[in-house]
Structure 1
């Protein structure tokens, strides 16, 4: 990996993207690149990156996409293929900029979709697996219903103020995501075609009570992927299992990482 400060900004195209870097326990250890949810940011991962580093010994790199956190704003309205653009144009540049040599992509929600698109579109020898937390491959009715409800909450409750703690331009973050998902044309959004081209192991973590997606998303991964697909369905968790059931989620990712990254190539952590 390129020498990175613990926090900073990357210039990718016209965007300035904030990042957090947790160095690995061993110099030759792999890197886990974290891709946040549709309203997420570096800060909103909380202490999960630190727990992940402790559990695996891997280096952890998290960044805020344009429009989120302290990164520069995104042009609105977002195009309806914004996740494809992120996976095909921005993420490759980020990986090259940080000197990514080998490791995993770990994505939550939109970030999981971006990770899946990247893995299907790029036969990247550096990539050894993708871990997807509550990913979307298609748009479901429950997704649209919940996203419409959160728009009402954003405009009528203290949700905007709470999100403003994590985003420099909270309206840019919220409406960039929300208006894309609520556009009637977005109902046709479907990235399942990428799954057939994924050539690395996949982990899907899904909460039983996910208010933004059903177990249909898992079924799609099983149906479309030719590569190994590990599943972890967590009772009592909704759309953010890493916050609602952090122990079970961390255990699933640690076990997957050990298998995908192979302990004999520098992965360390609690079980070492």
Structure 2
């Protein structure tokens, strides 16, 4: 049986350091496979992936890499307010620094929620290096359903003690994390944001996973994500599932990911030089 070891490190960027965690299989042939890079959601971080990275690493027999974006988890605070260009900025900012620091050649991008949007722009920015794109509950545009979900969440976090849930993972950055999510998405300047242009530049196979009961987005999002790339695309709509399939339907997501990668013959490159 393949054993998984955890490795923690830091990646330096011009705006501050990033916390990185890697799940590395023990067998040499597993390490040679293209790694999966995880992009967390708007309130997420490495630790909030919980046991999902290890499950994916074991199932696919390949390295999994997750990092805290600037302002989140154990990474450095974000310098100032989050700009409305933050999704597109990730590709040539923190993610580019991650690739260079870890010596990653080819990668598989896997993103949850807004992290799914970031995975899309990274696949578009590095079309010759991204071997596959997997989105989970990703938003492809600003939908009224998304905004309503954020407004409801804002009310919940305004209640006494609720912010402590974020402080457990983000520490003193918790207020910024919540404000960055709510204020950016509800701003007029962000109203017309979408992934359409980036998606037309995605050339790799795409798997778009979405719950049919996702409170932050309808199934129009995976449909949009699957309709624009030039490579083969697949949508997987999970029944009786909300916004976090990797927790609500973990086994289904793991098996869907494993099958998708196998069907597309992925994983023959050495991941780290």
TM-score (norm 1): 0.91
What residue number does 1:59 align with? 63
Change (3 A) 1:232 1:167: same
Partners of 1:263 and 1:70 in 2: CA distance: 30
Alignment RMSD: 1.9
Give the secondary-structure state (helix, strand or coil) at the position aligned to 1:21.
strand
What residue number does 2:170 align with? 167
What residue number does 2:184 align with? 180
Change (3 A) 1:202 1:157: farther
Partners of 2:270 and 2:253 in 1: CA distance: 22
Query: Per-residue CA shift, 1:83-115, capped at 9, x if unaligned?
Result: 111123221121111111223011101111011
1:82 counterpart (79, 86, 89): 86
Change (3 A) 1:173 1:258: same
Partners of 1:140 and 1:173 in 2: CA distance: 21
Partners of 2:165 and 2:109 in 1: CA distance: 28
Change (3 A) 1:187 1:82: same
Partners of 2:6 and 2:182 in 1: CA distance: 33
Partners of 1:32 and 1:54 in 2: CA distance: 12
Query: Per-residue CA shift, 1:103-155, capped at 9, x if unaligned?
Result: 301110111101111212332x3321011101111000010011011111111
What residue number does 1:92 align with? 96
What residue number does 2:243 align with? 239
Q: CA deviation at 1:226?
A: 2.1
Q: CA deviation at 1:5?
A: 7.4
Partners of 2:260 and 2:181 in 1: CA distance: 30
What residue number does 1:220 align with? 224
What residue number does 2:198 align with? 194
Q: CA deviation at 1:14?
A: 2.3
Contact 1:30 1:261 in 2 (8 A): no
What residue number does 2:142 align with? 139
2:151 counterpart (148, 152, 156): 148
Q: CA deviation at 1:43?
A: 0.2
Partners of 1:259 and 1:177 in 2: CA distance: 36
Q: Are residues 1:12 and 2:16 paired? A: no
Contact 1:76 1:176 in 2 (8 A): no
What residue number does 1:129 align with? 132
Query: Per-residue CA shift, 1:214-235, capped at 9, x if unaligned?
Result: 0111221233222111111101
Query: Per-residue CA shift, 1:17-37, capped at 9, x if unaligned?
Result: 111111133331221111101
Partners of 2:268 and 2:117 in 1: CA distance: 30
